Amino acid sequence: MKDTVFEKPIEKKFEFDEAVASVFDDMVSRSVPFYDEVRKLVISLILAQQEEGKKVLDLGSSTAKFLLDLHSQMDDKMHLKGLDNSQAMLDRAVQKCQAFGADIELECADMLSYMYKDEDIIVANYTLQFIRPMQRLELVKKVYDGLKESGTFIFSEKVVFEDKKLDKELIDIYYAYKKEQGYSSYEIAQKREALENILIPFTIKENIQMCLDVGFKQVDTVFQWANFVTFVAKK
């Protein structure tokens, strides 16, 4: 279904409710540059180290598109699980998994209070940016503690730049990209207002330092388009 959520005046701040869940796959594909390519890249990184019984946990799994794509490509039977705190998202995810006959565990849970344990790979696709900055370090620490000793944390984020002029230029380039995807200036402005103080990005340096501060030994960027970046953190 096509995303038309912001064609009319907003009445509340952005949330992952039924209105968003019903068009989420289209929204994220058209709103996040190279979203499909990044998803494929992350899946390839996981498949490169797949093993029977390996645990993959997706934080903010939304409609389970990422997990379904991973499930369809894996040769070894890994345990796939998705966490999301939006019941509307999970309801759609359950329907999709049942339709495809995919053995994927889904749970409605708060990422901050979830008990992470013995995970091999944890993924967060544009999820941390919605966690309040004061709580983000706490969550990444829980992720680190919940990974096995050889565990990997793969996450993608929208970022900001310390150079304000460059940051403004890249934001303008991003809005031009959204117009190319069919969004009007009005829709872009409406969504920007709805996301104000909801989506709070860090710089690339802050994201890397956050991971190092909780104990990750190595953090690399494996993809970047303007102000969208994918990180790989090794325990």
Judged by DSSP in three states, 156 sits in: strand
35 DSSP assignment: H
Please answer whether residues 211 and 140 qualify as being in contact, where contact means their C-beta atoms are separated by less than 8 angstroms: yes
- pLDDT at residue number 9: 59
Name the nearest CA neighbour of 69 among 111, 41, 108, 90. Answer: 41
- pLDDT at residue number 187: 75
- pLDDT at residue number 76: 92
- Residues 177 and 181: their CA atoms lie apart, in Å, by 7
Superfamily of domain 5-234: Vaccinia Virus protein VP39 (3.40.50.150)
Write down the domain spans for the chain.
5-234
Judged by DSSP in three states, 106 sits in: strand
- pLDDT at residue number 46: 98
Please list the ranges in the chain whose pLDDT falls under 70.
1-24, 188, 194-197
Please answer whether residues 64 and 97 qualify as being in contact, where contact means their C-beta atoms are separated by less than 8 angstroms: yes
Name the nearest CA neighbour of 120 among 87, 89, 74, 64. Answer: 74
Helix H segments across the chain?
18-21, 24-31, 35-47, 65-73, 87-100, 133-146, 164-180, 185-195, 204-214
- Tell me the whole-structure pTM to 2 decimals: 0.90
- pLDDT at residue number 3: 42
